[in-house]
Structure 1
């Protein structure tokens, strides 16, 4: 069986859904998957290192001019390239990483070549689709005509049902964690890393993710004055970039918190491992935005738990499904600085509790969230649809 994965972006582009797609493709059987995606900076060097073939063409040619024009371009290029690849590799099934516009490409190609297509959805995509008017009908049409719709969490599944997608069409596939993040920690390396990054003697809070409103970095920053009264050595490390970066930096300066907040930008996977290993608590209190943008399950919570770190997340959305309160982390109201402050102070001050929750998290991830197991489920699902 041969799978063609169509997505408008892919690693090395930063983002949770890109990590999700990459790890599925990486763990599928050898020579069973081909990817068509956007050509971006650094993609050539990335692609030659992979065990599966990646085909790329520029898909952002009109992004700066018009979103609609760029989506039309993606559909045209996707149809031409996708049709060629279906014929070249005798593709049996299409996997589409987005509802729109790649879902349109998948729908049309499935009709032309009489092969099934699957749509992958994430809570943020479905939430935004629900808030739109013009694109909503088209998106629902694409979803209803798919052979299966994959959701990364129950929260996203519930949103799909509210859109009118039949429950038996939805297949829940939670994210996994790379074995890379489950490997044994070399503590001498971590101590050297702490020294190099001037982290020794600090109690470290860590957030990893794009700097966008949904990630709600602002609530953690605004909680810091309260935390500093109880834990004066606290340091908040923020990894990632995004449109909110300048605003968050200005807010940090304005609040006089420059000495206890550091923006580290984007980092390599090896550095990310070390940042997770250095931190005392991972925190990301995501919230739903007005336009319907909402957090999915959140791979970063799994990665932090994989390294034995307790996680603090929101009591809504995808993360709330994964976090078991007082077992592998704590859930808080993302709009309540008081709740955020109390949870973080407790974990920073109670080392035994911190370790217990982190150890529990590592066990959960090791048992239930391995990418190889997730890829096996996707392959079996695809095979059943091809043979139906």
Structure 2
């Protein structure tokens, strides 16, 4: 059995999409043959102690003046771990800049390495020629390029790589323990009793599409005062969204929860009727949704979903089956789909059930990692 060392700047207990992706893969592989080298974190001790696999930590972050030193220290650490744990291959959860040590490790330590790409990470590097050339150098010498979606794989092909170079491993979700939640308490806290609840869970940034949802809800909530739009998460776009809510007169209909722990978030999924996140691509920033793991989370809890038809979202939303894909900039189309799911309870229930079945049968991490186990 091959021993795999995963090297990633982004890793729990730090929160985020890449963090969850890398952790999801590792925690479903054989812990005796899986190891992690990641960045230091003030809350790492408790998290690391709870894992079944071994985690090593060192400083991996630095500005452009410190990156050379960081990379030098990283290659020394890789040499040390090669002799300590005798790994056979390296998996870079972040392709850049830490992937720059990949070719060195390949030539000096005689190990293959794999690069994981997530969409935004590679698109954001295209604007700087030197950085982009470095990225191409890393990818050309990797054994395989692992993409989180077909969308991301198409972007990699545009960079000159073929299907033979690429493996697609879509994000999955963890199987959920059967936990009973006090839904009455959650409904009390957010005034959700006898309400139709529309939910978005995401970081509050422009691309997620909250603003277009609010525009769609402007007329829906005027005619349906019992609708509540619950926005979970935080981020730099929150003040803008709060102003839009005020300008549209939606103060009584929209709830900002901020960042929540997993228990309360699961409770809100169970209190909701529809999940929506019409993410859009912001091309000037290379900002795009690489997949959209939250759609699988929502489906798992039996919710029909509405997602923006952009980036990798069409792989996370089965249009007309688990929910609807919409033009992420078309507030009227979003309004129509929301109204359809709010009024047609049979359709909403069927889509939610379809989504739950799909996730349980095909979208858990235990299904995804089979591809990693078969890499050669």
Q: Aligned equivalents of 2:68 and 2:212: distance in 1?
A: 38
> CA separation of 1:56/1:204 partners in 2, compared to 1, >3 Å: closer, same or farther?
same
Structure-2 separation of matches of 1:136 and 1:375: 29
Q: After TM superposition, give the deviation of residue 83 of structure 1 in Å.
A: 2.3
Q: Give matches, 1:1-388, under 5 Å.
A: 1-60=2-61, 62=62, 67-180=63-176, 186=180, 189-289=182-282, 290-381=284-375, 384=376
CA spacing shift, 1:156–1:164, aligned 2, 3 Å:
same
1:313-350 alpha-carbon deviations (Å, 9 max, x no partner): 01121111232222100011001111111111211222
Given that 1:240 and 1:264 are in contact with CA atoms closer than 8 Å, whether structure 2 keeps it comes out as yes
Structure 1 residue 131 displacement after superposition: 4.1
Q: Secondary structure at the match of 2:50?
A: coil
Give the C-alpha shift of residue 106 in structure 1: 2.3
Indicate the SS of the match to 2:256: strand
Shift of 1:184: 5.1
| TM-score between the two structures when normalised by the length of structure 2 | 0.94
Describe the SS at the equivalent of 2:236. coil
For 1:237 and 1:44, the matched residues in 2 are separated by: 34
Q: Deviations over 1:331-383 (max 9, x none)?
A: 110011111111112112221111110000011111111211222321221xx
Q: Give, in whole Å, the separation in 2 of the partners of 1:133 and 1:338.
A: 40
Whole-angstrom distance in 1 between the partners of 2:301 and 2:69: 42
Once the two structures are superposed, what CA deviation does each residue of 1:259-314 show, in whole Å capped at 9, x if it has no partner? 22222122222222112111111111111112211101111110100111011001
For the 8 Å contact 1:231–1:345, the answer to whether it is kept is no
Deviates more, 1:281-290 or 1:221-230: 221-230
Question: Residue 10 of structure 1 aligns to a residue in which SS?
Answer: coil
Distance 1:242 1:136 in 2: 28
SS state at 1:330 partner: strand
Q: Mark the CA change 1:207 to 1:110 in structure 2 (over 3 Å): closer, same or farther.
A: same
Q: Is the 8 A contact 2:293 2:316 kept in 1?
A: no
Q: Which secondary structure state, in structure 1, belongs to the residue aligned with residue 275 of structure 2?
A: strand
CA contact (8 A) 2:9 2:94 kept: yes
Give the Cα–Cα distance (whole angstroms) in 1 for the partners of residues 130 and 374 of structure 2. Answer: 35
Distance 1:168 1:57, change over 3 A: same
With over 3 angstroms needed to count, the CA separation of the structure-2 counterparts of 1:69 and 1:252, relative to structure 1, is farther
Cα 1:21–1:341 shift into 2, 3 Å? same
Displacement after TM superposition at 1:91 (Å): 0.9
Which range moves more in the overlay, 35-44 or 164-173? 35-44
Gaps of 5+ in 1: none
Aligned length: 374
Structure 1: distance between partners of 2:239 and 2:69? 32
Pair 185,352 (structure 1): closer, same or farther in 2 beyond 3 Å? farther
TM-score (norm 1): 0.91
Deviation at 1:70, TM superposition (A): 4.7
Query: What are the ranges of 5 or more consecutive residues in structure 2 without an aligned counterpart?
Result: none
Counterpart CA distance in 1 for 2:216 and 2:69 is 44
Highest RCO, 1 vs 2 (Cα 8 Å, sep ≥ 6): 1
Deviation string, structure 1 residues 143-195 (Cα, Å, up to 9, x no partner): 11100011111111111000111221100111111111xx5574x73234323
The offset of 1:4, in angstroms, is 0.8
Paired residue secondary structure (1:31): helix
1:228, distance to aligned residue in structure 2 (A): 0.9
